Chains A and B, each alone.
Chain A
Amino acid sequence: MIAEAGLAALWLAAALCGLQLVFGIMALRSDGTGAVNAIRPVAIIQGLLTVFSFAMLVWLFMRTDLSVELVAANSHSAKPMIYKFSGTWGNHEGSMLLWVAILALSGSLVAMFEKRLKERTLTATLAAQAAIGLGFYAFLIFASNPFARLSPAAVEGRGLNPLLQDPGLAFHPPTLYVGYVGLSIAFSFAVGALLTRDVGPTFARAMRPWVLASWIFLTIGIAAGSYWAYYELGWGGWWFWDPVENASLMPWLAATALLHSVTVLATRDALRAWTIMLAVVAFSMSMLGTFLVRSGVLTSVHAFAVDPQRGGFILALLIIYIGGALALYATRVSTVREGAQFEFMSREGALVANNLLLSAILGIVLIGTLYPLGVEAVTGEQLSVGPPYFNATAGPLALLLVAAMAVGPLLRWRRDSWRNVMNRISLPVLITALALMALVFLASPIGILPMLGLMLAAGVAAASIAPLWKRNLRRTPMFIYGMVIAHLGIAVSMAGMAFESAFSEEVLVASAPGETHQVGPYSVTFDGTRPVAGPNWTAIEGGLTVQRGDGDPFVLAPQSRMFSSPQTETNEAAIRTGWTGQLYTVLGSTDGNGRSQLRLWYKPFVTLIWFGALLIALGGLLSLIGRVRREKRAMEREAWA
């Protein structure tokens, strides 16, 4: 009965969603007062029902109920409990249910907590959220029902893709999804504001926390995904420009741009039409990513079971929602009054530069992701667009962007003078120059991008702290700290990337037991291999005794695993993290004469990449808390006045 309860909850939620849309339309056609009070509970109950439905699916997976088709196809009774749990969303139907649950829950949260927005605009926003919801409920119920029964029940499940049997997977997709789908709120806000022509600072202040929250989750999700690929795929790289990675990067780029333009709108009432556009684009990129991954149009390590019918369904939803929003934009935005004006040399100017550069990078990633598809559709030829294209095009723009980021916070709103600006950025510029000299004299020749990256990282780190200069640190608002930490995080992350690409050392050997290899500061002795077994896999494990200089030796044990169901091999890298870098070891195949392939990397400061990303997310969090607190205080003041 668990499956039936889950499905019933889903149908009920879909019905409430329809009701929410009808209420919203009726309210907008009349004067709309009071409708919010009717819509709010509907949205909240709808969210709770989808969460209940998702909980039922989790329960089915935990029990390994093999009378449910989805469980039989993706789970296995011998699987460790945590992967039974995370297996719930390691497949198409489960992950779409998670998607819809987050969508409905986002609507509930807006219904519960949004007090700032004008009532009419809020009604329109919730109606837009319901319109999105309806399409995805239909997709779930008619084309991807996760609760379908299997009769007769299977004797044993087929198992979960071993690459996905990893603790990282338990949290990476849900985090990313919260970010993706959270952007639906920004989209609905934009549509709502277009419908009621209510685009201004109040609207921007109301929208900002929601965008910030989604953006924090996106940031963490992308960083976690990158680290997962880094240690689980055993290729030693941290970003592959894989289409699915790009699909998560694109909403992040759009959301980052939106985050900054919404601040301009909130503070200076400028960039109205542009902010609306970005809000539409950000969620469109989320939906596009879902389409690309779920339709099977893309070939990638992430492509799960595919079905062109589903692709067609999602494409139809894309056309309706994105097309509808853009048509609304085209007809309505010209009636939105133009915002305030500003000079190029100003905070707004720097933020516009930030937005243009982010959009350009977004365009580059979008084209690079879709180009192979286009070429194949037209000529049938297969090609892949990889790091050479992305690094050469997005790399320089990213460096420019970071430079703009360093200067931006040091500029005044509205207008600033060149001389004052020069004054304020002199110290960061000096530090950049010093870093350049240090690199030229102390380091062996390195590539131009890593060189610029390291230089800029030093300068940007200094510049990002500079806004705190001469401020009363105790009275500085929390969101300023948020900005400082997030920007510092960019510098830290960039330093990690540049270090990794400039100073990594790699050793690839066919090693006999007893041989010692030197990589970076580590000497690695191969002790031989032995078989080991886990709950649902067997493995060849390599023994490595590692010593750093005269330090204490330690043992690393990389594995080459064979999973029993389904049969797949994976490489489990063994990694040692030190203060100055990581030693990354992978065991390859054995050649039959007792020699084993070993891949050893020394990657100095590589962990800074993800540490920086965490700083960025932390900055976002501080900013969110600071903003929400300030809004709350402002509202209390208004209530008293």
Chain B
Amino acid sequence: MTNPNGRFGIHGGQYIPETLMNAVIELEQAYNHYKNDTAFNEELTELFNEYAGRPSRLYYAEKMTKDLGGARIYLKREDLNHTGSHKINNVLGQALLAKKMGKTRLIAETGAGQHGVATATAAALMNMECVVFMGEEDTKRQALNVYRMRLLGAEVIPVKSGTATLKDAVSEAMREWTSRIDDTHYCLGSVMGPHPFPTIVRDFQAVISKETKSQILKKEGRLPNAVIACVGGGSNAIGSFYHFIEDKNVQLIGCEAAGRGTDTFETAATVNTGRVGIFHGMKSYFCQDEYGQIAPVYSISAGLDYPGIGPEHAYLHDINRAQYVPVTDDEAVNAFEYLSRTEGIIPAIESAHAVAHAMKLAPQMDRDKIIVVTISGRGDKDCAAIARYRGENISE
């Protein structure tokens, strides 16, 4: 799907300062070498299975299915991975790659803190130094994850510039990388940024759909009718979609954070409200004003609170292979509570956006249809924020 210049249709590319060009070229060469290296892949599989706890379960949500009265709903349980989200898949791959490249230090951006925690974990495991950039606003929303990262030995730098959220954390991590390249790998957390990151991160996350496909064939003897995942930058979504892209009968649905609604300015629904632009190293859809100034986006979810979307998603949208639907804060919070009560599974507020759409879609589908919803992460980190949303002030 990627052409040699890292393009997905018109999207992607490498719009970065000259200072970083040799670093991304070196990364691409190393990745092209190791992705076909048997020893590297065996080592990564060992880490996936023995350390991260893969394969993750594909769970038939029987109570939810019966309650909604439509399609059969399966949950792909990335929340059960070590560190509590899909982020570990990409991080183990990149950290191992960085180690092979002789790097001794990992830097990362984080929104909700899940990618930061995963990076800090891999750094601890592989004896690497780790610095995580996190918007100051997010360090407040996700204080527990800040503590977890520090506990794991990482330095957490609160980013005060701009809107002090995920986009600013990405900008600051890029700035840091331009000042220290020799020993440092930028462990980007989503399918975004300059080539080769969107491809590398997708390949490491593609394990999700690879497993889902064989699991659903085993359980149901057929492919699902729809795969649903939440989308910020879009890493769990592309991982959930990837091995189904060629299966044209499988509907692929990405759920964007609409915040307070796509008709308000307080939204992060990039495909639904943005237009094509160039930012953070890539051409893709971005929320921006008429002069190309990047919009200060909003969502209750710190992990989806990003003004752009990965270039491969932009392409899947352009060719109409995937649909991107907006889900509001309210809908996501309802789904967060619904899944907790119905199935005893507390999803991350990010993943709750996907659950919310499944709740709308399932009743409209026949009972012999199948939906797979990726639960990208666990929701423990969100409990205090959701309590506040409901007007209950609890301390963590």
Q: Do A and B come from one complex?
A: no
- B-side interface residues toward A, CB under 8 Å? none
